[in-house]
Amino acid sequence: MRKLNELIWHCTATPEGREVSVAEIDRWHRQRGWNGIGYHKVIHLDGSVSDGRPIATMGAHVKGHNRGTIGYVYVGGLDKSGNPKDTRTDAQKATMIRLSQEAVRDYGIRKISGHRDYAAKACPCFDATGEYHWIASGMPSKDPARLIKSRTVAGTTVAAAAGAGATVEAAQDAIAGVQNGLQTLSVGGAIPIIIGLLVVSGALLALYARWDDAGRPSLKEMVS
């Protein structure tokens, strides 16, 4: 297995709503003189996935950046008039998140980007680097055990909290709130204890509310 470090996303540059098969892409690429389809996976409109070139084989998807990378493509990328557009269906978006997470987990991917980051192109017609940064950075999925391990406020850094979707200032405020609440609790007495608990709870809820939907745990996950 070759050493991999980056996943690069593409679009097929076809009109919104038009399905494309692996065989069709394979034909396009052979017409360019390539050795078959250059992408490793194709994500269809309904979110299903077709295999292209084997992962173990170097792709042909970004000039000068095929070594050490894998290339995935979603069907779409143009509006009805042929202009660049993020045409991803909800099913495609869900599959693309899953495949990105699997690439990090299974292949050691540490960077997720888009074709446009390496060429004067609109492809994949959305900001893959920004949208999937939380995945490439190793942020947890909605798995309770991993969430508890990596998102406990006490003992984490401000940077980790900010990476979860909160701003640095919000993370600092939340952590300061927890600290103030704990100090109030240490005073003793019924009223200080109640006030301290309220402050701690409010600070934690404030930070929780700022976590992005991509990684935010549900209430069920938090209490299970």
Please report the DSSP string for 119-186 in residue order.
SSS-TTSS-HHHHTHHHHTT---S-HHHHHHHH-STT--HHHHHHTT--HHHHHHHHHHHHHHHHHHH
Indicate which residue of 65, 93, 111, 121 is catalytic: 121
What is the band of 64 on the pLDDT scale with cuts at 50, 70, 90? Answer: confident
C-alpha to C-alpha distance for 196 and 214, rounded to whole angstroms: 31
What six digits make up the tokens of 149? 């391990």
What six digits make up the tokens of 217? 């745990």
Indicate which residue of 29, 41, 61, 115 is catalytic: 115
Three-state SS at 205: helix
What six digits make up the tokens of 114? 């888009």
Is 44 a residue of the active site?
no
Is 115 a residue of the active site?
yes
pLDDT, residue 138, reads 78
Is 11 a residue of the active site?
no
Residue 19's closest CA among 91, 70, 71? 91
Is 123 a residue of the active site?
yes
CB 6 within 8 A of CB 112: yes
Give tens-digit pLDDT for 120-166: 999 999 999 999 999 998 766 544 334 333 333 333 333 333 444 44
Which residues in the chain are classed under CATH 3.40.80.10?
6-136
* Average pLDDT estimate for 207-223: 45
Is 72 a residue of the active site?
no
* Class (C level, CATH) for 6-136: alpha beta
Give me the helix-helix angle, 168-187 and 190-209, nearest 10°. Answer: 170
Please say if the pLDDT value at position 47 is more than 80: yes
Indicate which residue of 61, 72, 85, 123 is catalytic: 123
C-alpha to C-alpha distance for 38 and 26, rounded to whole angstroms: 8
C-alpha to C-alpha distance for 204 and 206, rounded to whole angstroms: 5
Question: Order of strands, edge to edge, in the sheet holding 49-51?
Answer: 49-51, 41-43, 69-74, 6-11, 111-114
